[in-house]
Structure 1
Amino acid sequence: MSNQQQEKETLPASGGESLQPAGQRVFDAILKAIYEQRIRPGTKLGEEALASFFSVGRGHIRRALLALSHQKVIELIPNRGAFVTKPTEADARDIFSARRQLEELVVERVIAKADPATVKALRAHLLQEATARDKGQRREAVRMAGEFHLTLTRLSGSKVLYGILESVLSQSSLIVSLYGGGLTSSCSVEEHQGIVDAIERGDAAGAKELMGHHLTHLESTLRLDDYDIDEPDLDYIFG
């Protein structure tokens, strides 16, 4: 298949946009950088710089940024450009409040349909998460910690919950990046383990309580101060 034919194929992006492969690649790279806390809230993402870095046309960049704005992780400001969303203290409180309610519902749904394959998938994820932490692979550990929550939501079988929580989690990653001291993960593998243990026992009340405590602990690590924003280093962000 030629490159031109590949460019005409479309792939679904989160946020309701349909992107061609080049735009999807940009979308995925930016979202991954947000999940791994490599890109700071408030950072300006210039179309020209991104187009040059990814070797794609500016039209692909614009469509990727538009899709990300639907995820609430990019803010498009007329006559100024695209900026990574910079959540306020009130935003942070609201996001974590929403996460608690959503994720307690998620674990309830997972338990209602859990089988040995569900528990096996969760334990496999926990192993990857622990391995990344133990090897000092900070980016991977941060990414895997966030993906634990998406994996749970996927296993709930609810596309609606998955779509909502995907957006909430990406915003949560920005909050932790801004107020949590940079590239760290306050998500504890042991706390995730406790949630999975409760799911395996079929203990819905216990799993919901553990999830609530887990997210409250994560929120308690935030330092609700402000930070200066430097010029973005695209090699670091997307390298």
Structure 2
Amino acid sequence: MNIADQIYSAADSANQDRAQAIRDNLRDAIVDRRLAPGTKLSEGEVGTLFDVSRTVARAALQMLSFEGLVRTERNRGAFVANPSPEEARQVFASRRLIEPGIAIAACGRITAADIAAFKAQLDEEGRFIAARGPTARRSEIKASGDFHLLLASVAGNAILQRFMEELVARSSLVIALYGRSGVSSCGHNEHLRMLDALERGDAGLASRLMGHHIDHIEADLDLRKRPGVALKDALDF
């Protein structure tokens, strides 16, 4: 690689890092209810707020679109996704079909190292629950979703793992829009009981606990929309 290629490669890498950071910030604002579904996310405004080019802003919005958190409309731009009550039900119906099977598959593959990773993750989740403030709340929501993603990883099915990445992201948006409690509805104690079943090799119990867990998450939804704020006011600067 010549010097010019190295410079272009470094620039591309820096732009990717910037796009990822913008994606993370916008995702937090969406999950934390600070950006309401339907909010317009213009490339120009995002670029100005984060001091990046429209190209970098567009890349960040495309990442969110891939996750299902942003929708793009031809000749109109990008908007925070606005799942209908029926779409919310479909998200959890999909999880109810998939995740009990993931729990069974994970039970047959889980190792001592995996169990240690789960325990560390749940310790982190517990710390966020005990903390206060919006940053801790966002971290708790992410940590709760990470439990499900870790389980999908242990199950060893790459296709299902990709499905779960999208479903967890969409669930975060649905919970942010319709959740009664204002925090993650992924019960920490239910996670602990599932891990205990996995550690004891009880696949049937782990699967049943997962089904009940998803039922409890969905039961926390009240299917009423909540108002949001302007993009500039919603971001942490």
Matches within 5 A, 1:203-222: 203-222=202-221
1:68 aligns with 2:64: yes
CA distance in structure 1 between the partners assigned to 2:24 and 2:218 by the alignment: 26
CA distance in structure 2 between the partners assigned to 1:6 and 1:77 by the alignment: 32
- Describe the SS at the equivalent of 2:78: strand
Percent identity over paired residues: 33
1:38–1:183 CA contact under 8 A, matched in 2: no
Which of 34, 41, 46 in structure 2 is aligned with 1:45? 41
Q: CA deviation at 1:53?
A: 2.0
**Normalising to structure 2: TM-score of the pair?**
0.87
What residue number does 1:9 align with? 13
What residue number does 1:15 align with? none
Q: Structure 2: which amino acid aligns with 1:135?
A: A
1:115 aligns with 2:119: no
- Describe the SS at the equivalent of 1:209: helix
CA distance in structure 1 between the partners assigned to 2:103 and 2:30 by the alignment: 25
What residue number does 1:164 align with? 163
Q: CA deviation at 1:150?
A: 1.2
Q: Structure 2: which amino acid aligns with 1:6?
A: A
Q: CA deviation at 1:164?
A: 0.8
Deviates more, 1:109-118 or 1:132-141: 132-141
1:195–1:207 CA contact under 8 A, matched in 2: yes
- Residues paired across the two proteins, number: 230
- Describe the SS at the equivalent of 2:217: helix
Which of 91, 100, 106 in structure 2 is aligned with 1:104? 100
Q: CA deviation at 1:37?
A: 4.8
Matches within 5 A, 1:1-239: 5-9=9-13, 20-136=16-132, 137-181=136-180, 183-234=182-233, 236-239=234-237
Deviates more, 1:223-232 or 1:106-115: 223-232
Q: Structure 2: which amino acid aligns with 1:168?
A: L
CA separation of 1:31 and 1:208: change in aligned 2, threshold 3 A = same
1:73–1:171 CA contact under 8 A, matched in 2: yes
CA distance in structure 2 between the partners assigned to 1:118 and 1:132 by the alignment: 21
